[in-house]
Amino acid sequence: MISSEVLFDLARKTRRIEEISDMETQETFWADNKKAKVLTQEKSRLENEVNGFKELDLAYSDAETMFQMAEEEKDDSLLLEASDMIAPLAEKFEKAELQKMLSDPMDPKNAIVTINAGSGGTESQDWAQMLFRMYQMWSKKAGYDLKVLDVLPGEEAGIKNVAFTVSGTNAYGMLKSEAGVHRLVRISPFDSNARRHTSFTSVFVTPEVEDDFEVVINPADLRIDVYRAGGKGGQGVNTTDSAVRITHMPSGIVVTCQQERSQIKNRDLAMKVLRSRLYERHLEEERKKMEAIENTKKDISWGSQIRSYVLHPYKMVKDHRTGQTSSSADSVLDGDLDAYMKSYLTCKITGEWARGGDDVE
């Protein structure tokens, strides 16, 4: 049986803390402020994880001792006290297990999420709006801060696309499970004949790359356009050229931001998104190299849905990669996504993905 210390990688984390502590004693440590900042943040995160495990281990040991005393003395009051000590531990162990799953270097980062409506006009645009609301509600429940970077409304309803950041510890680690194509089956509210429609919307998730990460961007490779920000008209339309569009010529990546009144702030936000997209491009290239090894994973690309949301003739949400299913589609669309995110992380670690990718009609 694997011990909990091995399971939570306590020895490796402790060694890494000691390594960084040794680096901090060197005179040259603070010569590179950016590198020093990254290392001190890593050390702080690892210390929190190690201390959290030790506190959990101590609490479990105390409860176990209390149980042994209760059995030896046949004291019901001690048994009840031990039960009260055990109850909160289950939730703490679950959190610790989740933390173990979030082991990739980028997992602790903030996330940048982009939702794009597929073909199908108003149907897909309304579905994109529903997904955006779902992530808004999940972020609120999880205690994350969501900030819209750019949004393009649909002509009649919904949105054509939206880009937003979700800020908080492990935001990317949790949201990376959402990257891919999401499929909706329902009776269309826009069809006078009340026919069943199927809509597709894509979700892209990238880690927010800070200035201290080595993503080299040559200013000569950028085309920066400014234009007047606005929405559907009226008082909401900005009267200055504050919106920013940045095109990275070598890659063809285009990012826009118009949420701030300041052109400078919009440019800074757009550059942050660009760095994130370039980093994700690098990751994608690395993933392709590992494709032969990671052949159990489904391709996350347009036209290959990762999850289906069925609202008619029955209600069900099924993740085709993990097999995670719920008949409470309304609660999922209200942001109850943790079970889907955790099942994805579990499959990612075990490599045991759902076979066959059976569809939901």
* Percent of all residues in the chain with a pLDDT value above 90, rounded to a whole number: 46
Any idea which of 129-133, 165-169, 290-294, 346-350 has the lowest mean pLDDT? 290-294
Backbone angles phi, psi at 166, to 5 degrees: -120, 115
How many CA atoms lie within 13 Å of 26's alpha carbon, on the beta-carbon side?
11
DSSP secondary structure, 325-342, as one string: EES-HHHHHTT--HHHHH
Judged against a pLDDT cut of 90, whether residue 32 lies above it is answered with no
Look up the pTM and report it: 0.69
Q: How many whole angstroms separate alpha carbon 150 and alpha carbon 145?
A: 16
Residue 3 has pLDDT above 80, yes or no: no
| Strands 325-326 and 222-227, bridge-based pairing | unpaired
How far is the C-alpha of 253 from the C-alpha of 135, rounded, in Å? Answer: 24
Mean pLDDT computed over every residue of the chain: 84
- Walk me through the domains of the chain, giving residue ranges and CATH numbers: 4-101 (1.20.58.410), 113-292+301-354 (3.30.70.1660)
Between CA 166 and CA 144 the distance in angstroms is: 6
- Which range among 4-18, 28-42, 78-92, 305-319 has the greatest average pLDDT? 305-319
For the ranges 40-54, 77-91, 191-205, 245-259, which has the lowest average pLDDT? Answer: 77-91
